Structure 1
């Protein structure tokens, strides 16, 4: 079986318009300036926005998609021959909803840009001989796309892949979360805090390039992965946390690792009461089961909950932060839950290589866990 490495990546999000900007901004945010960061980011509603101006949603959608794709290809130093071998995975929760809304608002009728038009656009940019595959599993979409592509590379079914995670603001998604009473009324993200009052959505677009060769010494390997599902609810996690625990634990088993081999666990931590309680219980039980613990990192206060793209977004932000020497702290955490033995990491740590257990949760009972490492040979 082949190994799988991330050899290139790119991101545009609330933190910045490229990977370097985003990592530098992330390092400079702390509890003292967090509210100012939110104030500068939010406009008419509490939402982590990409800071670029466009005339239409269509222009925004295709411009940002093209920028991130080309940035990732350049980052991986792919030749034209390499590009032709790229298998393409597009992953999102809202997919083309922003384009449908834009069409309706400008022409007084829905003339939707369909998936075929999006896939043709992406295929032409990349010049790949393979068609796009769409992965849509709610907030685990891009994480599951990475898992699917990694599995195919490991089994030597494909050589290379590009995973594109994207989520753009649209009123339908925002109103949907508002109707479920999941949005924060305070306008502050408080991950794993017992006083958390909900989540804050965000938009972002990011890409990772996967190959079966390691190009740079600090490239991260996709070591193992696991998925699980429960049928408890379409819009909430089972409070018994068994499916989440099993997913996390199976990823460790598949990698032949123990908790004490991990540098950190990157939690999903949406901020909603049900999801928070389920996940903290699962992590707490995991630590008890292994009679050990590791640092827990949460990234959503920096970019918001970017739904289907959070897999690629958060993997890139954490891996690139570590490559730049920092394991980032969790901001805006004050009071943990009772009977929970861990707290998220509250101070930056000097780290430049790591074994990381990533976890993502999606509506419909979807769980996805991946272990990435740039410590292994």
Structure 2
């Protein structure tokens, strides 16, 4: 049995539905990118989801509800199929922003409740109730690979006929703790321009994003993408930086190809993790060079999506998958905005402008996380 993506949804800084997101993305060009960023980052150097002006708790619930119900609707699930959805959640901060609000209200005397919840089980319970699922939710928190690991795990369970269908949700909303943590590590961009693989890159710009993917054992539409393979490789070089050689990142991508019995030439595009930090720029670039060299100089196109979405941490797996697949269904590969001057010895030039493509593609999506958790996943809607 195979695992197919039959429904998906995304809420991010450029829209809260896929139609608007793709329309807005098409209107961004290398020339308008910096001007567009000034508007996005006008309040804070952070890619914010707009138009959800509620308390932190209500905002969290409203955005989560939006992506879940939109994905279920697109998958055209019956009431019985919806209730049979196994729930997989991937996030770095979980409900941290909501708990910060509760703590602030406790400290200023407006509430006698110091924390909303201890632990994160309430998030799963919220989704269980929302779709009336008869299954308990499973939470993944492996830093920036959280939601892609959740999707790979759910896909494998469907392949092995352990479950029939699943919904995988990635979510990351602003909280002071995460923002302050990255700031203290001096990883945040001061120039307010996201520049993957660029010599003038000065760091990461964080962002909010929430997405959902419905997986089922049977294809429903001709262009449904199928899970092909994945790989998860741990890098024990450092808690917060990748091995400078790039070898563990290469091993994740190469293992995904070998698991799929594919070669680089079989890929139409690689979506790089591309955080824009000095370490990730260098280590992932070396990993891609190793990948191309190991397949006798075979190459494929490379793009990066964080200049569009911001770095959405644990949610970037499903967020970037939904955006990438939707762009392909609209017959283009997204550009890597912000790239102008390559870092030393870069073995490729990323896609610089939106590039027309067939709406049938095989892609590898790469993710690199704190703690050395590296994941690659291959998806395809080719016959």
Residue 379 of structure 2 corresponds to 372
Aligned partner of residue 235 in structure 1, secondary structure: coil
Residue 205 of structure 1 corresponds to 210
Shift of residue 104 of structure 1?
Answer: 1.4
1:259 to 258, 264, 270: 264
Aligned partner of residue 364 in structure 1, secondary structure: helix
User: Could you tell me how far apart the structure 1 residues matched to 2:29 and 2:356 are?
Assistant: 16
Shift of residue 241 of structure 1?
Answer: 1.2
Contact 1:99 1:113 in 2 (8 A): no
Shift of residue 338 of structure 1?
Answer: 2.0
Matching of residues 220-259 of structure 1 within 5 Å? 220-259=225-264
- State the aligned residue count: 375
Matching of residues 236-315 of structure 1 within 5 Å? 236-291=241-296, 292-315=298-321
Moved over 3 A (4+): none
Unpaired runs of at least 5, structure 1: none
**Alignment root-mean-square deviation, CA:** 1.0
1:141 aligns with 2:146: yes
1:112 aligns with 2:116: yes
Residue 157 of structure 2 corresponds to 152
- Residues 278-311 of structure 1, C-alpha deviation per residue, up to 9 Å, x if partnerless? 1000001100111200000100000100000000
Aligned partner of residue 139 in structure 1, secondary structure: helix
User: Could you tell me how far apart the structure 2 residues matched to 1:37 and 1:106 are?
Assistant: 35
Residue 14 of structure 1 corresponds to 13
Aligned partner of residue 240 in structure 1, secondary structure: coil
User: Could you tell me how far apart the structure 1 residues matched to 2:200 and 2:114 are?
Assistant: 42
Aligned partner of residue 144 in structure 2, secondary structure: coil
Unpaired runs of at least 5, structure 2: 108-112
User: Could you tell me how far apart the structure 2 residues matched to 1:199 and 1:176 are?
Assistant: 12
- Residues 237-270 of structure 1, C-alpha deviation per residue, up to 9 Å, x if partnerless? 1111111111100111111111111110000000
- Residues 55-110 of structure 1, C-alpha deviation per residue, up to 9 Å, x if partnerless? 31011000110111000000100011101211101110000110111111223262
TM-score norm. by structure 2 comes to: 0.96
Shift of residue 327 of structure 1?
Answer: 1.0
Aligned partner of residue 17 in structure 1, secondary structure: coil
Aligned partner of residue 335 in structure 2, secondary structure: coil
1:54 aligns with 2:60: no
User: Could you tell me how far apart the structure 2 residues matched to 1:234 and 1:280 are?
Assistant: 20
Shift of residue 36 of structure 1?
Answer: 2.1
Contact 2:30 2:353 in 1 (8 A): no
